[in-house]
């Protein structure tokens, strides 16, 4: 069911300003005519501009999604596009809407109305979108000793290295003699270097401190190095 649009917040206004600035500074009125800005899960703002070409050059929204990913963003939260020459906030095209719906259905998208910009969910921009048939549910594997903590809710974070996961439904699998599976969902993934793990994140995953993260994770990943990037995974049990 679609939701009613939300009013833009102060943070959303900042995002609109960032998109406006990037196209005002870099637009040429020909190939580069739209700027986009995206805020990620860390609150970092990324910007990009379109590249028009008759073969289908990328829209600014797709450029900024790629740029944000390259800069370490893993969960785009809000996106907006702004036209050059004072055109203001623009609605995403059909291709962008399909990409949003497929890749980031809960992405907040700032769109124009006759009364000013509002915020809608990406999935609501394309209510009858084509959906790729669902494949096998991803599995998030744990050692048997974590089962009780996951069941009682005291463990809701895990750290992974070279173990691809994504936000969405998941089976939480525990490696006992008789495998135990709990239906759940991965709610967020944040990539960072081992040395950047905070004390709070370390304790949430059961470590005594951040200093214990590297030596104890090496029990799972012997080749892990201090500058390697791990993924902090937050999950829920259904």
Active site residues: 61
Residues 56/81, Cβ–Cβ less than 8 Å: no
Q: Which regions of the chain does DSSP assign to beta strands (E)?
A: 6-7, 34-39, 45-49, 78-83, 88-90, 108-111, 118-121, 138-143, 157-160, 168-175, 180-193, 229-237
Longest dimension (CA), the chain: 66
Instruction: Give the phi and the psi of residue 195 in degrees, each rounded to 5.
Output: -70, -10
Task: Please state the φ and ψ torsions of residue 67, each to the nearest 5 degrees.
Answer: -65, -40
The C-alpha atoms of residue 61 and residue 225 are separated, in whole angstroms, by 35
Give Cα separations from 167 to 75, 105, 137, 194 (angstroms).
Answer: 9, 11, 11, 21
| Tokens 């450029």, located at residue | 63
Among candidate residues 195, 207, 210, 201, the one with its CA nearest the CA of residue 233: 201
Half-sphere exposure of 184 (CA within 13 A, CB side): 25
């Amino acid at each position: 069911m679609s939701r009613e649009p939300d009013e833009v917040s102060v943070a959303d206004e900042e995002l609109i300003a960032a998109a406006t600035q990037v196209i005002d500074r870099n637009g040429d009125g020909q190939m580069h005519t739209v700027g986009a800005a995206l805020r990620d899960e860390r609150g970092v703002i990324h910007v990009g501009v379109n590249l028009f070409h008759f073969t289908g050059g990328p829209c600014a929204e797709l450029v900024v999604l790629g740029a944000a990913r390259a800069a370490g963003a893993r969960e785009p939260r809000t996106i907006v596009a702004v036209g050059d020459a004072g055109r203001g906030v623009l609605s995403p095209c059909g291709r962008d809407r399909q990409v949003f719906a497929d890749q980031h259905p809960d992405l907040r998208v700032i769109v124009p109305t006759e009364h000013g910009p509002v915020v809608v969910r990406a999935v609501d921009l394309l209510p009858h979108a084509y959906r790729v048939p669902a494949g096998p549910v991803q599995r998030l594997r744990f050692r048997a000793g974590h089962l009780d903590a996951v069941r009682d809710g005291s463990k809701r974070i895990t750290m992974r290295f070279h173990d691809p996961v994504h936000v969405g439904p998941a089976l939480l699998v525990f490696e006992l003699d008789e495998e135990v599976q709990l239906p759940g969902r991965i709610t967020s993934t944040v990539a960072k270097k081992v040395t950047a793990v905070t004390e709070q994140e370390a304790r949430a995953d059961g470590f005594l401190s951040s200093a214990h993260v590297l030596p104890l994770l090496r029990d799972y990943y012997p080749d892990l190095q201090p500058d390697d990037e791990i993924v902090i995974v937050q999950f829920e049990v259904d």
